[in-house]
Amino acid sequence: MGKPIIQSRKEVLTMIDRAENLIKIAPEIPIEESILIDSNNILKISKEPIGVSLIISPWNYPLLCCIGSIIPSIICGNSVLLKPSPRTPLIGKYFEEAFNSVGALNVVQNLFIPNQSVNKIYKHPSINYVGFTGSYEGGKAVLMDIAKSERFIHTNFELGGKDAAYVCEDADLDFAVENIVDGAMYNSGQSCCAVERVYIHSSLHDQFIEKAVNLISKYKMGNPLDENTTIGPMALPDSPLMLKEQIDEAVSNGADIMIGGSFCNDTNGKGRFYEPTLLKECTNDMLIMRKESFGPILPLATVENDDEAIQMINNSEYGLTSAFYTKDFKNAEKMGRRVIFIRFLNLTF
């Protein structure tokens, strides 16, 4: 899917770490719980396997996103039907082969079918859990298809977001800039919890921009197999045009491009790239601040205080993660509690 090789290696190592950690903590999860009601009554809760878990994994982190569902499913006594993205179809094959190679035959099976055929699987009586990681619209489609199957199935969704970062007046600016830029540009911005909008206290605005432009200018677009490449190509054919439309709309409404702003090829004239981009003077009514970008774009807005920042962060239809950069931990906790992370899907059947 175009991820630079240096980032791909990190995903492999993180996948292993996550798998080992899930295995390590598994014994701490009680299989049975007993609650004494009174001298004559005991309430006992038993946790049992549910059968087959259908895991629908995304293309942006094809190893990392599905391991968090595969390992718990197996530990809890279930088998796994893995439906990888059509953009990373071999992932399912290798997971299946890995488990088969150690004698766990058919514990993980690769499901190689087009997306539009998955809805037929929900009707199978053996499927009792569906785990989906992907876009907001993709999750909505899956949920509607499950409902139409007329079966009650356990579900878990991790969808996209428009994740915000707030740089407080007392922030360690160098630390904030480094982490926010990396959070926006890593994997060409194609991360569910990428930093997609930033609110900066007005006292730090100019310094933040200067430092951010300096960092962004050092990113190198190119062949993902090149060890020096830090920005790979966009995975989806329509992504560059969509990003350009968001940026053009922002500029027409008063935003300024500080660096980047165009889709292009690499220095060898190859690939489907979008330049790492920084915009200032953005407002919450712009598409770039409201709709998921999923690209190496960092739009900035200025706020005067914490209350204004929280108001702007909450003014979104998405809910996933947010970050606060401050030296005051208690204030960070206080602000975190005020952020609304739960959103509701608007479904029409």
Q: Kindly state the average pLDDT of the residues 127-155.
A: 92
Whether residue 345 has pLDDT greater than 80: no
Active site residue 193: no
Amino acid 308: pLDDT: 97
DSSP for 233-266, written as a single string: --SSTTHHHHHHHHHHHHHHTT-EEEE---EE--
Which secondary structure element, helix H or strand E, spans residue 324, and what is its range? strand 322-325
In a domain, 347, yes or no: no
Whether residue 59 has pLDDT greater than 90: yes
CB-based contact 297:288 (threshold 8 Å): yes
CB-based contact 166:208 (threshold 8 Å): no
Q: Kindly state the average pLDDT of the residues 90-94.
A: 94
Q: Confidence class of residue 29 from pLDDT cuts 50, 70 and 90?
A: confident
Q: List the domain range (segments joined by +) for residue 122.
A: 10-24+34-158
Say if residue 143 is in the same domain as residue 67. Answer: yes
C-alpha closest to that of 335 among 347, 324, 348, 320: 324
CB-based contact 315:158 (threshold 8 Å): no
Q: Confidence class of residue 131 from pLDDT cuts 50, 70 and 90?
A: very high
Q: Kindly state the average pLDDT of the residues 139-144.
A: 92
CB-based contact 281:254 (threshold 8 Å): yes
Amino acid 259: pLDDT: 98
Say if residue 146 is in the same domain as residue 72. Answer: yes
Domain count, the chain: 2
Say if residue 212 is in the same domain as residue 250. Answer: yes
pLDDT in tens, 264-314: 887 788 889 999 999 999 999 999 999 999 999 999 999 999 999 999 999
Whether residue 83 has pLDDT greater than 60: yes
Active site residue 192: yes
> Residue 152, CB half-sphere, CA atoms under 13 Å: how many?
1
Whether residue 81 has pLDDT greater than 90: yes
In a domain, 5, yes or no: no
Amino acid 265: pLDDT: 87
Whether residue 125 has pLDDT greater than 50: yes
Whether residue 261 has pLDDT greater than 90: yes
Q: Confidence class of residue 145 from pLDDT cuts 50, 70 and 90?
A: very high
Which of residues 123, 158, 193 is at a domain's end?
Answer: 158
Say if residue 55 is in the same domain as residue 174. Answer: no
Say if residue 148 is in the same domain as residue 190. Answer: no
DSSP 317: S
Q: Kindly state the average pLDDT of the residues 50-61.
A: 95
DSSP for 21-66, written as a single string: HHHHHGGGS-SEEEEEEETTEEEEEE----SEEEEE--SSSTTHHH
Whether residue 341 has pLDDT greater than 70: no
9-13, Cβ contacts within 8 angstroms, sequence gap of 24 or more: 11/61, 11/63, 11/64, 12/63
Q: Confidence class of residue 116 from pLDDT cuts 50, 70 and 90?
A: confident
In a domain, 49, yes or no: yes
> Residue 286, CB half-sphere, CA atoms under 13 Å: how many?
26
Whether residue 342 has pLDDT greater than 70: no
DSSP 226: S
Amino acid at 273: F
Q: Kindly state the average pLDDT of the residues 83-107.
A: 95
In a domain, 221, yes or no: yes
Those residues whose C-beta lies under 8 Å from the C-beta of residue 285, and which sit 6 or more positions away, are 253
Say if residue 142 is in the same domain as residue 252. Answer: no
Whether residue 27 has pLDDT greater than 70: yes
Whether residue 25 has pLDDT greater than 70: yes
pLDDT-above-70 percentage for the chain: 97
Dihedral, 86, 87, 89, 90 alpha carbons, nearest 10: 170
Amino acid at 97: E
Say if residue 174 is in the same domain as residue 319. Answer: yes
DSSP 339: S
Which of residues 138, 158, 178 is at a domain's end?
Answer: 158
Say if residue 139 is in the same domain as residue 180. Answer: no
DSSP 89: T
pLDDT-above-90 percentage for the chain: 86
Share the mean pLDDT of the chain: 93
Amino acid 346: pLDDT: 54
In a domain, 29, yes or no: no
Q: How far apart are CA 34 and CA 44, in angstroms?
A: 4
Say if residue 111 is in the same domain as residue 233. Answer: no
Q: Confidence class of residue 319 from pLDDT cuts 50, 70 and 90?
A: confident
Amino acid 349: pLDDT: 47
> Residue 271, CB half-sphere, CA atoms under 13 Å: how many?
24
Q: What is the CATH number of the domain that holds 232?
A: 3.40.309.10
Tokens 């190198």 belong to 220
Say if residue 197 is in the same domain as residue 253. Answer: yes
Distance from the Cα of residue 149 to its chain's centroid: 27
Q: Kindly state the average pLDDT of the residues 110-138.
A: 91
Catalytic residue among 76, 158, 178, 249: 158
Say if residue 16 is in the same domain as residue 129. Answer: yes
Whether residue 318 has pLDDT greater than 50: yes
Catalytic residue among 66, 168, 192, 282: 192
What are the helix (H) ranges across the chain?
A: 5-25, 64-75, 90-101, 136-148, 173-185, 205-216, 239-252, 287-290, 306-314, 329-338
